[in-house]
Amino acid sequence: MRNETDQVEIEQVPVFKASEQDIEQFLKDLFGYCVRLHNHIKGYDSLGFPNELAVELFTYLVKNSNEPQYNLMRTITLARGSIEDGGAESDASTKIVAEVFSEIERLKFYVNKLKAMTYEDLSIRAIAEFHYMDGLTVNEITDELIALEILHEYSRDEKKDSLLYSHRKQISKYVSSFKDYDAQTDLLIHNDEV
């Protein structure tokens, strides 16, 4: 059983082995990896999100996020369609498959960054991302996380100041990274289900 303070463990990004599999099978395996990665790092079900909302968030991210796993899922879909239409040897297929391998390198870098986080950090980040997509500011997200008792408002040492500044700095860092992955500026949802 994992502890919330344990560092995140993520399976390695699949590697293409031409002698063991064809490109179509590799793309299918890679797509499955991206879905598993989403489930692992977002953890919407374990955070208490209703299933319908978790599906809505996943669908939105697949369509709109520039996070490497979602970019890769879109690129794989194009590559698989291109291979079906023109065969694996066509110029279009070759170009799109090359793009897949470029995206894999970006995904590996991203996965290594995630491995430096704890499971608690991932949970906080996922909830912050949800509220960011719903249009909340850094301060509003921080206040919500404190109200949900996910973040503590005060340190145990009463001589120290409130942890509020530290939390806002952390949430601001997360929001900054979300902005890096915005592919579209439309807001996802407008409800208070979580």
Compute the mean pLDDT over every residue in the chain, rounded to the nearest whole number. 83
Question: pLDDT of 55-89, one tens digit each?
Answer: 988 998 898 888 999 999 999 998 888 777 666 55
| pLDDT over threshold 50, residue 126 | yes
Domain co-membership, 99 together with 129: no
Greatest mean pLDDT among 40-44, 110-114, 164-168 lies in 110-114
What's the predicted TM-score (pTM) here? 0.80
Give the model's pLDDT for residue 193: 40
Contact 70, 186 (CB under 8 A): no
| Torsion region of 76: left, alpha or beta (phi above 0 gives left; psi -120 to 50 gives alpha) | alpha
Q: How far apart, in whole angstroms, are the C-alpha atoms of residue 36 and residue 30?
A: 10
Average pLDDT, integer, range 105-128: 93
Domain boundary among 86, 115, 144: 115
Contact 30, 145 (CB under 8 A): no
Bridge partners (DSSP) listed for residue 65: 182
| Torsion region of 51: left, alpha or beta (phi above 0 gives left; psi -120 to 50 gives alpha) | alpha
Give the model's pLDDT for residue 41: 92
Domain boundary among 79, 96, 115: 115
Bridge partners (DSSP) listed for residue 182: 65
Domain co-membership, 125 together with 158: yes
Question: pLDDT of 138-173, one tens digit each?
Answer: 999 999 998 888 888 765 555 455 688 889 999 999
Domain co-membership, 100 together with 148: no
Count of structural domains within the chain: 2
